Amino acid sequence: MTTPPGPHPSIGRPGDVEVPAYYREYVRDADGGDLVRALHKASDDVWSTVYHIAPGAADMRYAPDKWSIKEIFQHLIDAERIFCYRALRFSRNDDTALEGFDENTYVPEAKVERRGLHQLLREHDAVRASTIELFRSFDDDMLRRMGTANGERISVRALGWVIAGHAMHHMRVVRERYLHR
pLDDT at 4 over 90: no
CATH class of 23-52+66-178: mainly alpha
**Model confidence over 144-163: pLDDT tens digits?**
999 999 999 999 999 999 99
79, pLDDT greater than 80? yes
| pLDDT over threshold 70, residue 7 | no
Q: At residue 78, does pLDDT exceed 60? A: yes
pLDDT bin (cut points 50, 70, 90) of residue 9 is low
Q: Which residues of 61-95 are buried (b: 16+ CB within 10 A; e: fewer)?
A: eeeeeebbbbbbbbbbbbbbebbbebbbbbbeeee
Rounded Cα gap, residues 97 and 154, in angstroms? 11
How far is it, in rounded angstroms, from Cα 148 to Cα 153?
Answer: 4
Domain ranges of the chain: 23-52+66-178
What is the sign, positive or negative, of the torsion defined by CA atoms of 15, 41, 79, 56? negative
The alpha-carbon radius of gyration of the chain (Å, integer) is 17
pTM of the prediction?
Answer: 0.93
pLDDT at 181 over 70: yes
Query: In this structure, are strands 152-155 and 146-149 parallel, antiparallel, or unpaired?
Result: antiparallel
